[in-house]
Structure 1
Amino acid sequence: MVSIDTGRFLADLHELRQIGAYKTGVHRPTYSPQDMESRRWLMDRMAEIGLNPSIDGIGNVYGRHQGPGPHLLAGSHIESQNYAGWLDGALGVVSALALARAGLPVDVCAYADEEGHFEGGFLGSRSIIGDLSEEEIDRSHNRTDGTPLRQALADAGLAGKPRMTLEPGRHKGAFEMHIEQGTQLEKANLRAGVVTGIVAIWQYRIWIDGQQDHAGGTTMDERRDAGLTAIRLLSAVDREFPRVCGPRSTWTTGRITLDPGAPSIIPGQAMILFQFRDIDMTVLERMETTLRALVQESNRNERCKARVETVSRSTPIACDPTMLAALDAAAEACAPSLWQRMPSGAGHDSQYLGRLMPVAMLFTPSIGGVSHHWSEDTREEDLALCCDILGDAAERFLQA
């Protein structure tokens, strides 16, 4: 069994969390000075263990193993959500470093903008498989402050750098370790989760057109209030989706914007950012059909007209059976009866890598299920145990 230096693995995690530290978490939005400092830190760690480090024009940091194969790819992302946790993404990158340090033939990668600070999302993993066009880069802006992606790349010193793509046939498969970001493992008193598949995320903008008018002079009977129509539509979604969803489906209203958004003006337009997730295409299609039917029903009953714009529809992906078997065996060897198979409710870079190669993921428990918040945490003994499981599984898969 491969020997993982879990002490160094934990030390690396704690050293990385000092870059962009915020309370007990981190603030490293994509291409920020803190994010770029963390990428330089990672390249230094790669060089120390004999990998050949590079950074490409979209910000992917890649450490290429210089010995013979077969090779594995391992990693995750290194930027964070705003004022968020220290393990989301970083855990996968630092655990990949630990595999390479143990002598396994692993290429390590930190993919850029998995967290979706810029329109399009998953910029790094999509770019590295050849799925990100120059035209999309031209169109993309920061979701928070509107900065064009081209400007952000230039400010980060990445303008003019070529974007790399994965070498065909180099990798036998890709592993990614990640925190669960939920409570299933903790509630079951388990210490590891072998991920069976990664959900698809289907995202929409729902526009509702009303009539902007005076909040005092316009009677309630005369109003075409886009805000009220938006609330009633979302209430109908929450009432009807449980009838058509799967056991692990989720749906989220991430933003409601009212125009003009003033206290004494009836909203003339509402914009809703809405998404749902599941691992089953049949369920996803059923939920979309229901959403569109509810919009049609709203348009029959309301004074304000609604329309749906599809933003993105990703594809769910199943993890590779041979890699799953390796993770199962490793989990049972390292943590007998303290693990389970489970789906991922979050999106991950692995769902894009899975278009080119076999992929698998391993989850560590999340304390209280908290993630995307600075209080996110996992017990160090669980982090170390799962890194051991990952190393064992990688070795088993290489020999399979």
Structure 2
Amino acid sequence: MQVDTDRFLADLKRLREFGAFKTGVHRPTYSPVDMEARHWFLSRLREEGLEAEMDGIGNILGRSPKPGPHLLSGSHLESQNEAGWLDGALGCVAALHLAASGLPVDVAVFADEEGHYGSFIGSRSFTGLLEETEIDRLANKYHDKPLRDALREAGLEGRPRLRAEPGRYRGFLEMHIEQGRQLEKRDLGIGVVTGIVAIWQWRIVIEGQQNHAGTTTMDERRDAGMAAVRLLAAIDSEFPRHCAERTVWTAGRIALSPGAPSIIPGRAEILFQYRDVDIDVLRRLEEVLRRCVTESNRRERTVATLEALSLSTPAVSDPAFQDALEAAAEALAPGKSLRMPSGAGHDAQYLARVMPAAMLFVPSINGISHHWTEDTKDEDLALGMRVLAEGARRILAA
């Protein structure tokens, strides 16, 4: 088994040219430049001797002709808008070079992990979790183009959708940038991912009374905006008492209605989420959140209601795969690895539902991702490629 890290880096940098934006890329799902990148990747798979095809949702599968048990590896090629050059692309090119090294690895590129049209529609399609009725109703969140129209314009209409072949795979591996600073702060080169967090998303609506901001006295007000501020402050005070070490929470959107400076808000809407890899922590925080809402309703002149928008399930990495990746890291870079959870979602969390799965992280410079300044040192990328290949070899030999 030989991994050519120079060719690996060259392919990564060639892919960077598709949709180049400043030092990153702008490659939205099913856009002309995204499809150009997909067709280039198809040609590279075929150059390495894989049987490659693109299906009706835009997924690409390159099948290795080698006999025996196989691994599946990959990620996604599209990007967030005006974002980084490595997110997704790194995992695809790493998978290509696992196969090029001589290992029995199938290469997968999953469409729209970044969610321009839906939630992980490529990996969910491949694992049998995407229905035709959902495809019918999905549309682009930026410009409302129906998914069916985008598939037709991309030349994908009418093609069958690929599914994971039962019994073919030992499991799935995905290489990715960390998108955080834990590795960089510790001067480490490899993160062995213990699991992928679940995201629990909530809508909090607070109903008060819209009124004149100048003539309504403070003791007469039913101010939904101030009630929202106090509720979020209470949540932020209580969560640290019940969370885990790597739990995070965010009030990503606070909308006041009618939103005028001289009108007391009659309504507030908050989109709130928290993330953790432990289902017990997630459930505990739900209890805390509900108590905070109940206490708000007891204290305030407003009425708050809580609605669950999505309660996903954490994906735990396969323990034997973690051990293989850690052993590979210790063999190639002693003392330079860390076991850590992923705070972001990845295609691997859906593959983990149908086969053993694991991920490997490499450092992100300054922890930046989803921005055109996203970057990783060449030597860290090359080390990650070597560790991934050695880990894959150990998994296949087990």
Whether these two folds match at TM > 0.5 is yes
Which stretch shifts more, 73-82 or 23-32?
Answer: 23-32
Correspondent of 1:388 among 371, 383, 386: 386
- Evaluate the alpha carbon distance shift between residue 251 and residue 69 of structure 1 in structure 2; reply closer, same or farther with a 3 A threshold: same
Residue 224 of structure 1 deviates from its aligned partner by 3.2
Query: Residues of 1 paired with 2:217 and 2:153: CA distance?
Result: 51
- 1:317-328 equivalence runs, <5 A: 317-328=315-326
Partner AA of 2:196 in structure 1: I
Greater Cα offset, 299-308 or 348-357: 299-308
| Correspondence for 2:197 | 199
Task: Determine the C-alpha separation between the residues in 1 that align with 2:188 and 2:84.
Answer: 21
Report whether the alignment pairs 1:369 with 2:381: no
Which residue pairs with 2:257 in the alignment?
A: 259
Which sits farther off after the overlay, 88-97 or 210-219?
Answer: 210-219
Deviation at 1:81, TM superposition (A): 1.6
What does 1:47-62 correspond to in 2, within 5 Å?
A: 47-62=46-61
From 224, 233, 243, give the equivalent of 1:245: 243
Q: Name the residue aligned to 1:309.
A: 307
| 1:203-235 deviations in Å (ceiling 9; x for gaps) | 122222233444445444444333322222222
Distance 2:116 2:263 in 1: 31
Deviation of 1:255 after TM superposition, in Å, equals 1.9
Aligned to 2:162: 164
User: Shift of the alpha carbon at 1:266?
Assistant: 3.7
The Cα of 1:265 is off from its aligned counterpart by 4.0
Code of the residue aligned with 2:145 in structure 1: it is T
The superposition leaves residues 365-386 of structure 1 with CA deviations (integer Å, 9 ceiling, x where unpaired) of: 1111111211111110010011
Residues 324/308 of structure 1: CA separation in 2 closer, same or farther (3 Å cut): same
Instruction: Give ranges in structure 1 of 5+ residues lacking alignment.
Output: none
- Which deviates more from structure 2 when the two are superposed, residues 143-152 or residues 14-23? 143-152
Structure 1 CA distance, aligned partners of 2:132 and 2:257? 32
Quote how far apart the aligned CAs of 1:193 are: 1.2
Percent of residue pairs bearing the same amino acid type: 64
Task: Name which of structure 1's ranges 228-237 and 152-161 shifts more when overlaid on structure 2.
Answer: 152-161
The answer for the alignment partner of 2:103 in structure 1 is 104
**SS at 1:19 equivalent:** coil
Q: Deviations over 1:155-190 (max 9, x none)?
A: 333333322211111111111001111111111111
TM-score, normalization by structure 2: 0.94
Aligned match of 2:335:
337
Secondary structure, aligned partner of 1:81: coil
CA spacing shift, 1:304–1:140, aligned 2, 3 Å: farther
In 1: Cα distance, 2:274 partner to 2:187 partner: 28
Name the structure 1 match of 2:79.
Answer: 80
Q: Relative to structure 2, which stretch is displaced further, 242-251 or 264-273?
A: 264-273
Deviation of 1:258 after TM superposition, in Å, equals: 2.9
Larger mean Cα displacement after TM superposition, 161-170 or 145-154: 145-154
1:34 CA drift (Å): 2.5
- Looking at structure 2, the residues matched to 270 and 326 of structure 1 have their Cα atoms a distance apart, in angstroms, of 49
Distance 1:300 1:390, change over 3 A: same
- Segments of 5+ residues of structure 2 without an aligned counterpart are none
SS at match of 1:132: coil
2:44 counterpart residue number: 45
Task: Sort the Cα spacing of 1:20 and 1:288 in 2 relative to 1 into closer, same or farther, 3 A.
Answer: same
| Cα distance in 1 between the residues matched to 2:219 and 2:157 | 56
CA distance in 2, matches of 1:143, 1:265: 31
* Counterpart Cα distance in 1 of 2:236 and 2:47: 52
Q: Secondary structure at the match of 1:29?
A: coil
Gap change, CA 1:152 and 1:217, over 3 Å in 2: farther
Instruction: Give the 3-state SS of the residue equivalent to 1:124 in structure 2.
Output: helix
Q: Deviations over 1:112-131 (max 9, x none)?
A: 22222234x11111111111
Taking the aligned partners of 2:156 and 2:300, their CA distance within structure 1 comes to 49
Give yes or no for the alignment of 1:8 onto 2:29: no
In the superposition, relative to structure 1, how do residues 247 and 261 fare at CA in structure 2: closer, same or farther (>3 Å)? same
Q: Matched residues in 2 for 1:214 and 1:142: separation?
A: 39
Look up the equivalent residue of 2:7 and give its one-letter code. Answer: R
- Secondary structure of the residue aligned to 2:108 is strand
Aligned residues: 398
Q: Per-residue CA shift, 1:137-169, capped at 9, x if unaligned? A: 333333333333333333333333322211111
